[in-house]
Amino acid sequence: MAASPRLEPVGDTALAIDLPGGGNLAEDTVRVTTVAEGLAAAAIPGVTDVVPSPGRVTVVYDILLADSFEALVAAVAERVTAVLRRVPPSQKKPEPLHEIPVAYGGEPGPDLEGLCRERGLSRAEAIRLHSLAEYRVTAVGFTPGFAYLGGLSPRLAVPRRATPRLRVPAGSVGIGGEQTGVYPFASPGGWQLIGRTGRRLFDPTRKRPCLLAVGDRVRFVESATVDGVADAAGETLIPQVAECAGGCLTVESVGPLATVQDLGRAGYRSAGVPSGGAADAAAAVIANLAVGNPAEAAVIEWTLVGPVIRCDRDVTVALCGSDELPCGRPLAVPAGQRLVVGRAAGCRGYLAIAGGIDLPRVLGSRGTCLAASFGGVAGRPLAAGDRLPLGLTTARLGAGRWWVDPELTALPGRLCRLRYLPTRGMPAVAGEYRVSPQSDRMGLRLEGPPCATSRQARSVAVLPGTLQLPPDGRPILLGCDAQTIGGYPVLGQVIEVDLRLAAQLRPGAAVRFEPTSLDEAHRLRHRQAADMAKLAEALAEKCEN
């Protein structure tokens, strides 16, 4: 009988359930999917997502929605035990088999020839080995719809490229170590490319957006041509809505990056879809509350320099993060008047408009997913000339001189101290780091004293706040748009309430990491929620509905 599964906290927002395997890829994967499906169907209070990966199921939770942390852990453990007893993996029905046509070698597969030389194979033999195997999806991540496929012949196993490509075309079939997979979108990547397919692996308009799910079987079929390869970079998967029944906002200019965001997506991490949303969620919520919007209304998030906008009706706006305009209070902007937002006080700022930005929801959110080109305005950054529909509102902020306490969105000091929960058995993240210019919504690259570890990593679920350790020894702090599966060792997890501070760090900012406890992390999250609830109640009294 297999050993009992072990539950272990992953930071303050997730539980990892390690499922001992028996060495059989098919049976081990079925065990993982059985547990993941059972947990997803259980509707345990507080659980917001369930992410399967090799030998592990990660349960993502919101402590504010749980009865208590102890009750959450007990309910998860009870469900896992019940599922494994009731549905032995050997009795589970076979998973779907997907056949994916591939044009091997040549321009679609520029690394096939080098792989053949390194492994002493002929071109025909390499193609036969790759297309003969039946693969299992062991995880989905990196980008939405990217399936990690186990079952590769050891004769084809080759390491990733020493220097990743800056752009891998959509549909590229690659090999990375002992796994193979298909890039659903054009993106950077370090796998060895051996071919390309025209099959679309991710489409947010489908009921099941991801073609492949963990546990599915995959077989590649050699094809003479690549038909219908759609490079998703810049592709409009969701058309921009032109109707502006509640008025329209026109973008006249933007700074380095501006996108439409809300509070993000939940429930799609198993398909590789990041949570996304506002990087500094507290600032976005306060801007919304100041104009009488729901906390989750869509706003404009901008980086370093804000946009210049103009609305075709009188509007009430509020800012959080501007260095040049009043923040945390409503501002009346007459129809046709230009609003110049100006510089950010930190790294990012937020602009809320009464009624919100009324773009269509995609997978439950109006926010922009840049990695997969959906949500927001055609899945891309805002550009001059964009017209955004505004929602209708009946809320009216009462007169008076008032503002939101700036301490609720206080910016990091000269040295930002981020509290984190260390990973057991990993070295402490000591010393002072600087934020690299090569940082974005996906994560902060940190320059400073390298960490050393001999731990071998496996592909596991990662979250905003995960501290990864790449081969150069310099940590990466994952952000709101980070991938859902990562293969680097994990040093720890920055606690949820400090993620807004990390989001406001400019390139060159100094950072230290301070260990804390899980109980303290949960206490701070409850206190932050209580402060926001008091603010919402106070502002509701100033609104006339």
Same domain assignment for residues 46 and 110: no
For the chain, what percent of residues have pLDDT higher than 70? 92
Per-residue pLDDT tens digits for 495-544: 999 999 999 999 999 999 999 999 999 999 999 999 999 999 888 776 65
Q: What is the mean pLDDT of residues 431-458?
A: 88
**What is the C-alpha to C-alpha distance for residues 369 and 442, in angstroms, rounded to an integer?**
11
541: in domain? no
pLDDT of residue 539: 82
70: in domain? yes
pLDDT of residue 232: 40
- Compute the CA torsion angle 262, 144, 11, 76 (nearest 10 deg): 100
Same domain assignment for residues 285 and 198: no
Per-residue pLDDT tens digits for 381-430: 999 999 999 998 766 665 457 788 888 888 998 999 999 999 998 999 99
The total of structural domains in the chain comes to: 4
Last-in-domain residue among 355, 389, 409: 409
- pLDDT confidence of 229, banded at 50, 70, 90? very low
Task: Determine contact, residues 493/465, Cβ cutoff 8 Å.
Answer: yes
**What is the C-alpha to C-alpha distance for residues 221 and 100, in angstroms, rounded to an integer?**
6
Per-residue pLDDT tens digits for 146-200: 999 999 999 999 998 878 898 999 999 999 999 999 999 998 888 999 999 999 9
243: in domain? no
**What is the C-alpha to C-alpha distance for residues 467 and 488, in angstroms, rounded to an integer?**
9
| CATH classification at residue 468 | 2.40.100.10
Same domain assignment for residues 59 and 117: no
| CATH classification at residue 22 | 3.30.1360.40
Give yes or no for residue 287 having a pLDDT over 80: yes
Q: What is the mean pLDDT of residues 226-248?
A: 54
**What is the C-alpha to C-alpha distance for residues 208 and 96, in angstroms, rounded to an integer?**
14
Same domain assignment for residues 303 and 174: no
**What is the C-alpha to C-alpha distance for residues 327 and 350, in angstroms, rounded to an integer?**
10
Same domain assignment for residues 365 and 401: yes
Same domain assignment for residues 349 and 322: yes
539: in domain? no
516: in domain? yes
Give yes or no for residue 450 having a pLDDT over 60: yes
From the number of C-beta atoms within 10 Å of its C-beta (0-12, 13-18, 19+), residue 162 rates as exposed
Give yes or no for residue 1 having a pLDDT over 80: no
- pLDDT confidence of 21, banded at 50, 70, 90? confident
Last-in-domain residue among 67, 91, 115: 91
- pLDDT confidence of 27, banded at 50, 70, 90? confident
Same domain assignment for residues 404 and 428: no
227: in domain? no
Residue with tokens 């400019």: 506
Same domain assignment for residues 252 and 104: no
* CA–CA–CA angle 237, 238, 240 (5° rounding): 130
Average pLDDT score, the chain: 90
Same domain assignment for residues 258 and 380: yes
Q: Which domain holds residue 465?
A: 415-524
Measured in degrees and rounded to the nearest 5, phi and psi for residue 156 equal -105, -5
Same domain assignment for residues 392 and 290: yes
Q: What is the mean pLDDT of residues 354-363?
A: 95
Last-in-domain residue among 91, 120, 135: 91
Give yes or no for residue 19 having a pLDDT over 60: yes
Same domain assignment for residues 50 and 137: no
217: in domain? yes
Per-residue pLDDT tens digits for 105-141: 999 999 999 999 999 999 999 999 999 999 999 999 9
241: in domain? no
pLDDT of residue 178: 92
- pLDDT confidence of 227, banded at 50, 70, 90? low
Is the full-model pTM beyond 0.85?
yes
Task: Please indicate whether residue 146 or residue 6 has the higher confidence score (pLDDT).
Answer: 146
Same domain assignment for residues 476 and 519: yes
